[in-house]
Amino acid sequence: GIQVEQSPPDLILQEGANSTLRCNFSDSVNNLQWFHQNPWGQLINLFYIPSGTKQNGRLSATTVATERYSLLYISSSQTTDSGVYFCAYSGGGADGLTFGKGTHLIIQP
């Protein structure tokens, strides 16, 4: 199956900092999503972004399908941004979404 790698695995930042999370995949994918799992375990949809760039408030995402990566940008971090960020794809002959291992983000006040 398609391999997906997320980096960095862990990130600790001060409130107000900016960050870039990366998702690399080993082959073409049909769909790419970014999720935020908050400290209560809820999976929150951030972006559905098979290609191109999208922005939602302080968050934006870019997927370059031809180069097989996606980036999630978080600007002016807040403590509520803490949690685990997952990228997930569908495609490559697999059904459903295949998840990366996530980036664990801690925003300190």
Partner 1 sequence: DAGITQSPRHKVTETGTPVTLRCHQTENHRYMYWYRQDPGHGLRLIHYSYGVKDTDKGEVSDGYSVSRSKTEDFLLTLESATSSQTSVYFCAISGGRNTEAFFGQGTRLTVV
Site residues, partner 1 (CB under 8 A): 30-31, 33, 35, 41-43, 45, 48, 86, 88, 90-91, 94-102
Cβ proximity to partner 1: between 15 and 27 the closer is 27
The residue among 29 and 74 lying less far from partner 1, judged by its C-beta, is 29
In the complex, minimum distance from the CB of residue 91 to partner 1, in angstroms, rounded to a whole number:
7
User: Which residue type does 61 have?
Assistant: A
CB burial of residue 71 (10 Å; 0-12, 13-18, 19+): middle
Structure tokens at 33: 């999503």
Compute the least distance from the CB of residue 63 to partner 1, in Å: 14
Q: Quote the CA–CA distance of 11 and 14 in Å, as a whole number.
A: 10
CB distance 67 to 41 below 8 Å: no
Q: Which is nearer to partner 1, 18 or 26 (CB)?
A: 26
